[in-house]
Amino acid sequence: MPELKFTQSQEMLRKAVREFVEKEVKPIAHRIDVESSFPADVFQKMGRLGFAGVFVPQTYGGAGLGQTERAIILEELARHAAGLAMALMTHHLGVEAILAYGTDEQKAKYLPDVATGKKISGLAVTEPTGGSDVAGQLANASRDNGHWVINGRKCFITNSSNAEVNIVTARTGEDAKGRPAFSAFIVESGMEGFSPGREEDKLGLRGSSTGDLLLNNCRVGEGSLLGGEGNGMRMALGLFTKIGRTGMAAIGLGIIRACLEEGVKFARERVIYGKPLAKLQAIQFEIAQNRIDYEAARLMTYHSIGLKEGGAGADAEIAAAKYFATEGAVRAAKRTMDLMGGYGVINEYPVGRYLRDALTTISCGGTSHIMQIIVAGQTLN
Amino acid sequence: MPDRKRALWAVAEQTRGKLASVTPEVLGQARRLAAEAGGCEVAAILLGKDVGALANDLLACGADKVFLVEDPALELYQNDTYGTVLHRLIRREQPEVVLFGATAVGEELAPTVAARLGTGLGAHCTNLALAPDGLLTMGVLGFGGRLHTEMFCPDRRPQMASVKPGMFPPLPREEGNGEILREEASALLSGADIRIRTVRIVKEEPEGMPLEDADVIVAGGWGIGGKENWRLLTELARELSGATGCTRPALDEGWTDGEHTMIGTSGKTVRPKVYLGFGISGSPHHTVGIKDAGVIISINSDPRAPVFECSDYCVEADFRKILPLLLSEIRRAKVPA
Amino acid sequence: MGELNLVVLVKPVPDPSCYDRIEIDPATGALLRQGMPAVLNPADKHALEEALVLKERFGGRVAMVSMAPDSASETLMEGLAMGADEACILSDRAFAGSDSLATSRVLAAGIRKIGPFDLVLAGNESADGGTAHVPSQVGELLGVAHLANVIRMEVGPGGSVTARTRIENGYIEVRGSLPMVVGVRREINTPRYTSLMGVMAAQGKPIRVWRSEDLGVNAAEAGMEGSGMRPGKLSRPDYRRKGEILKGSHEETVRRIVAILRAEGVLG
């Protein structure tokens, strides 16, 4: 088995992203967390640099790269601002939906704007009944005179108040076996009957907006149907795995690295009993555990993405990576707080934010319980 | 000419008839080097238009003689004209050492002349020593003040160096009876290839006390956090009849009065009696500029701030708590009991 | 004005954020640079940005020239990713120990080898050595007009140049014309970020490596032999002081500070 090694251009890409993040994102990370605000201007800049359309072909204004490069971007972003990474990761869900399932007309219409970050995208599946229970959703769409009329309420939707190009799923009838069938629609902000609803006050990942999307007799044209009638469920599940969970794994990985680096910095600089904290073995163990979690999460994340890019199913590997990286982020943040003592709980230091962000990643893209169910299912079958 | 005295030259800098503050520093150091090595004479080179009155100042600052080159073409500094005159004078007189102030102008003129002469040049020297055999030791700082290197120019002449402003105190003025040599400017300029024209030199003389002259400097860094808080620093400086200084990050944030208040490797070297630093972490870029301060007092809420290592007194506290108290305490102290 | 042939002088330097970790080998007295990654000298990015803006306006090519070991190609890729068209590394053991003038000779030879140029831009100084000599000396050696400390620059349609150079508490305004060599200060612009598209495009751009014989630089002109300056002892300056911590309440601390100010005789 070959070593996991990034190409020279991937290393350069990481460096370029890191430079941007350190100059433009790190300085605002604390503020967007405190204010729970999405920095639209920074997102625009990210778009111009290719982050928003990293895996979109250059013919549509993207960077023409793949999911590994996307994960590098998310990891680097989450190193300083996991909330903003969350907004980008969700944007990619909408972008991939159009790229993978859109007609040529839909791609030509939407991709140039979303790939360059001019317009923000998102995916709205979850309802008050649940997210991973895709079949339980109640939103419905019916044909009316060459149009679709969509009704329903989506909740816990990331980018709800910022996205201009929303991919919304709704029940559109039943399949041959009498089970509910779902379809996806491209719904643009400002369309009649469509509006963002309440916004949530989240524990973490506060640099992204999360809230309701309300569809009240929202009429869209036939051209808004995405991926064909009845394909909404398959599409949503595919996106959850390929984009959602890989993205969350990369974000968890970025948080672990943040904890690792902050912990090392603190342990080197903080002097106690006349010597740096780093000289104490108990502290060395905490640093080692952070490093081990980072190494494992890194291998699992990039390896599972590599498998998927190579055409394998990789559902279990991706679920395992999502589980491990996000749970690892929680562990790493807790450990880092422990080693920092009193400083760990002071909000001037970022570790408290890392812990809140880490806890919040667990519920995004399927909880740790769901991830284990997927891994178990794939293992036992 | 074996018995001729070795000549140490200091290139004077003037703008609109005013000597740059570094010029007396360079002359003073040349004088000290001459005394160190023995058997040397110190000459100042002055270029400009109608600047003859400054020649006596240069004698008073330590020069044995002044080469005075006056010409309308030299009114405004420009590297082709100034470089040509200096190059020709140096070729003719063959001094042992030529020193420049490492100002923006010196930073351009010195390498220009060194390139024409094909000799070595020490940059932004922070110390200089001259051996009796005439070899100049040039101490330079690199890596943002973290590395000191001794440089030599053993087998090319003259030995040239630019001197970092603020490093060497000028000598007390002594009305000298040196010699002023008026040079024929047109000869020194004839045939010069003048490729750039200086349109104007704009000086924006800053308000307030210059950092170089202040007994007390109140300096702030990135930790100050904004313009509002910066005003408190300025107020304290005014109360102490001192000057306000800053670090590069504070300058970049736009809180300060401008680049002339920046202290450190890319800014000024200062030597106040007391330096009070607020919200300064203490990167070597900054601390190298305050190493000659009398007493350094640092106030920082982070007990790990490296600035504490190079401070005489350390206050581990939020400057927002300390500054207002300090202001009122000083006001009270100044009221005669 | 036609297209511009632009040259940017760049130098890979040890990452300035690592300068706190500088050590001197106690045995050899040499500088230890281990663990300090090389980056593009920060001021050089401003020079490259200025060149890219001019290229966008007038068309033409931007070539980077660097006197550096072969391994510099990795750092130069950063410049190619920002938008430079090609890179030339001037690399030879014979160049080791070059002072600023010998370095400028090598760079001038590299610039000549590329061909006719309109404008050579460089960062005013490097973060490590920081002599700020190279722009002026390269200008002298190429026999063209040169400016250091440039903070603003405009190239007119006929190749005229208006520029401002920074001096203490002010600036100098100058006029001249191309060809020219300029050293720029960071105030001149804000370098662009490298885009993902730029990273991809960089992969196909040429990086040439030229030795002393390619450049026609002989041993007497470069390296130790071609240099007037010789380095002597290296040391780490020690700025440490006693570091007494003023303890007690804020009020007590402030009274101590005032007492110190009075003892130093600066309380008016």
Query: Which one of C199, C200, C205, C207 would you mutate to disrupt binding with A, by most A Cβ within 10 Å of its Cβ?
Result: C199
**Beta-carbon pairs below 8 A across chains B and C:** 256
**Beta-carbon pairs below 8 A across chains A and B:** 3
Cα end-to-end span (Å), chain C: 63
Write out pLDDT tens, residues B129-185.
999 999 999 999 888 788 899 999 999 999 999 999 888 989 999 887 899 999 999
CA distance A183 to A227: 8
- Cβ of B114 and C246 within 8 Å? no
Q: How many other CB atoms are there within 10 angstroms of residue B263's CB atom?
A: 28
Q: How many other CB atoms are there within 10 angstroms of residue A83's CB atom?
A: 29
User: Has residue C253 been placed in a domain?
Assistant: no
Considering only CB atoms, C197 lies closest to which of A23, A45, A63, namely A63
pLDDT score recorded for residue B336 = 61
Walk me through the domains of chain A, giving residue ranges and CATH numbers: 8-119 (1.10.540.10), 122-232 (2.40.110.10), 234-380 (1.20.140.10)
Query: Which one of B304, B314, B316 would you mutate to disrupt binding with A, by most A Cβ within 10 Å of its Cβ?
Result: B304
User: Has residue C144 been placed in a domain?
Assistant: yes
User: Within an 8 Å CB–CB cutoff, is residue B304 touching chain A?
Assistant: yes
C164 near B199, Cβ under 8 Å?
no
CA distance B26 to B109: 15
Looking up tokens 């680049």 gives B259
User: Has residue C227 been placed in a domain?
Assistant: no
User: Within an 8 Å CB–CB cutoff, is residue A288 touching chain B?
Assistant: no
Within 8 A of B197 by CB-CB distance, chain C residues are 174-176
Query: Which one of A49, A92, A265 would you mutate to disrupt binding with C, by most C Cβ within 10 Å of its Cβ?
Result: A49
User: Has residue C241 been placed in a domain?
Assistant: no
User: Within an 8 Å CB–CB cutoff, is residue C199 touching chain A?
Assistant: yes
Q: What are phi and psi of B137, to 5 degrees?
A: -95, 125
Write out pLDDT tens, residues A334-372.
999 999 988 889 888 999 999 999 999 999 999 999 999
pLDDT score recorded for residue A273 = 80
Within 8 A of C196 by CB-CB distance, chain A residues are 13, 16, 49-51, 54, 63, 65, 69
Going by pLDDT thresholds of 50, 70 and 90, the confidence category of residue C238 is: confident
Within 8 A of A270 by CB-CB distance, chain B residues are 304
Write out pLDDT tens, residues C209-235.
999 999 999 989 999 999 999 999 998
The dihedral through the CA atoms of A128, A133, A135, A136 has a sign that is negative
Considering only CB atoms, B329 lies closest to which of C20, C171, C258, namely C258
Write out pLDDT tens, residues C90-104.
999 999 999 999 999
Within 8 A of B155 by CB-CB distance, chain C residues are 228
Partners of chain B (3+ Cβ pairs below 8 A): A, C
User: Has residue C249 been placed in a domain?
Assistant: no
User: Within an 8 Å CB–CB cutoff, is residue C29 touching chain B?
Assistant: no
CA distance A125 to A122: 10
pLDDT at B62 exceeding the cut of 50: yes
User: Has residue C127 been placed in a domain?
Assistant: yes
Query: Which one of A26, A264, A269, A348 would you mutate to disrupt binding with B, by most B Cβ within 10 Å of its Cβ?
Result: A269
pLDDT at C16 exceeding the cut of 90: no
Q: How many other CB atoms are there within 10 angstroms of residue B100's CB atom?
A: 31
Query: A68-77, A119-128, B164-173: which range is least confident on average?
Result: B164-173
CA distance B303 to B300: 7
CA distance C98 to C220: 11
User: Has residue C149 been placed in a domain?
Assistant: yes
CA distance C44 to A26: 24
User: Has residue C222 been placed in a domain?
Assistant: no
pLDDT at A49 exceeding the cut of 80: yes
The whole-model pTM stands at 0.88
pLDDT at B3 exceeding the cut of 60: no
Q: Which is nearest to A93 in space by CA: A152, A159, A38, A45?
A: A159
Q: Could you list the beta-strand ranges (E) of chain C.
A: 4-9, 12-14, 23-24, 31-32, 38-40, 60-67, 86-90, 119-123, 145-155, 160-167, 170-177, 180-184, 207-210, 230-235, 244-245
User: Within an 8 Å CB–CB cutoff, is residue C165 touching chain B?
Assistant: yes
Within 8 A of C130 by CB-CB distance, chain B residues are 123-124, 142, 265
CA distance A198 to A305: 34
- Cβ of C194 and A50 within 8 Å? no
List of residues 6+ apart from B115 with CB closer than 8 A: C101, C104, C136, C137, C140, C141
Dihedral class, residue A141 (left if φ above 0, else alpha if ψ from -120 to 50, else beta): beta
> Coil, strand or helix: which one is A226?
strand
Write out pLDDT tens, residues A153-178.
999 999 999 999 999 999 999 988 88
> Coil, strand or helix: which one is B114?
helix
Looking at the structure of chain C, the number of domains it has is 1
Q: What is the mean pLDDT of residues C67-73?
A: 94
- What Å distances lie between residue A200 and A151, A158, A209, CA to CA? 21, 10, 8
Task: Produce one character per residue of B61-92: b if its CB has 16 or more CB atoms within 10 Å, e if not.
Answer: bbbbbbbbbbbebbbbbbbbbbbbbbbbbbee
Q: What is the mean pLDDT of residues A297-308?
A: 97
> Coil, strand or helix: which one is B326?
helix
CA distance A238 to B268: 61
CATH number of domain containing C185: 3.40.50.620
Considering only CB atoms, C253 lies closest to which of B112, B199, B322, namely B322
B22 near B167, Cβ under 8 Å?
no
- Cβ of C200 and A65 within 8 Å? yes
Within 8 A of C198 by CB-CB distance, chain A residues are 16
Q: Which is nearest to B219 in space by CA: B302, B289, B144?
A: B289
Closest chain C CA to residue A11: C199
Walk me through the domains of chain B, giving residue ranges and CATH numbers: 6-189 (3.40.50.620), 211-334 (3.40.50.1220)
Containing domain of residue C74, as a range?
Answer: 4-215
What is the Cα Rg of chain A in Å? 21
Please, what is the average pLDDT of chain C?
93
CA distance C107 to C138: 7
Partners of chain C (3+ Cβ pairs below 8 A): A, B
